Amino acid sequence: MLTGEVRLANDAAALALEVREELGIRVASDQPFVLSVGSTPTAQSATAEAKLQITSMLNGTLELHAGM
């Protein structure tokens, strides 16, 4: 479940980056997107190792929390 949530948020970030590039939108800073995901069950079951593996392929930084 967690990887599915992260994948969908990451896909949305990738699309946003493409649109921004196509429109020539410049951003004042190089701050990455914050991919905020996590239902209570998936956030509570995530390990530090799983989070590290997931974050290596993201179009932003991962914010994992319960209660979404």
**Residues forming beta bridges with residue 60, ordered by sequence position:** 33
Cβ atoms of residues 62 and 6 within 8 Å: yes
Torsion over CA of 67, 49, 60 and 35, rounded to 10 degrees? -10
- DSSP assignment letter at 32: P
The residue with tokens 């991919």 is: 35
Q: What is residue 41's predicted lDDT score, i.e. its pLDDT?
A: 78
> What predicted TM-score, i.e. pTM, was given to this entire model?
0.75
Q: What is residue 29's predicted lDDT score, i.e. its pLDDT?
A: 67
Task: Give pLDDT < 50 ranges for the chain.
Answer: none
**Residues forming beta bridges with residue 63, ordered by sequence position:** 36
